[in-house]
Amino acid sequence: ILNVEQSPQSLHVQEGDSTNFTCSFPSSNFYALHWYRWETAKSPEALFVMTLNGDEKKKGRISATLNTKEGYSYLYIKGSQPEDSATYLCASAGGTSYGKLTFGQGTILTVHP
C-alpha cells in the first residue's frame, strides 16, 4: 500500500448500533498513526495517536487498534449516538513522508436517531 486508504467511504447506522471502519497505511518505515474526528464547520479533533504494533486505545465509547506489520488500524464506536456523526480521518506519519501526515479520504459516519 502506497497511500493511506479508508473504508468505507460513508456509513449510515442507527442510534445504538456499534460500528467500525478501517484505515490502511504503508507498513514500511511506520512511525505513528493518527485518528481525527471532524465535524462540519469545526476543526478536526485529535482522537488517538498510535505507535506500537498491537496498541489499543480507548476514549469513552470509541476505541482503536493498530497493526503495524500489516498496515491497518480499526476504529470502533460502541453504541453510536447522533452526536458521533462526523467524518473520521486517519493519517500516517512515516513511510516516505517522514515528518508529515498523509491523510486518508475519511469515513463519513451518519448516526440516525
Partner 1 sequence: GAVVSQHPSRVICKSGTSVKIECRSLDFQATTMFWYRQFPKQSLMLMATSNEGSKATYEQGVEKDKFLINHASLTLSTLTVTSAHPEDSSFYICSARPPTGRGYNEQFFGPGTRLTVL
CA dist 39 to 55, 67, 110, Å?
26, 27, 11
Residue 86 is a binding residue for partner 1 (CB under 8 A): no
Interface residue with partner 1 among 43, 52, 83, 113 (CB under 8 A) is: 43
CB of 61 to partner 1, least distance (A): 22
Q: From its phi and psi, is residue 96 left (phi > 0), alpha (psi between -120 and 50) or beta?
A: alpha
Interface residue with partner 1 among 31, 59, 61, 69 (CB under 8 A) is: 31
CB of 101 to partner 1, least distance (A): 6
Span of 21-29, 41-49, 57-65, 72-80 interacting with partner 1 by CB under 8 A: 41-49
CA dist 13 to 8, 72, 90, Å?
13, 23, 20
Take residue 61 and report the three cell numbers written for it: 465509547
Q: By the 8 A CB rule, do 89 and 102 touch?
A: no
CB of 78 to partner 1, least distance (A): 25
Span of 15-23, 57-65, 68-76, 89-97 interacting with partner 1 by CB under 8 A: 89-97
- CA dist 56 and 7 (Å) reads 19
Residue 103 is a binding residue for partner 1 (CB under 8 A): yes
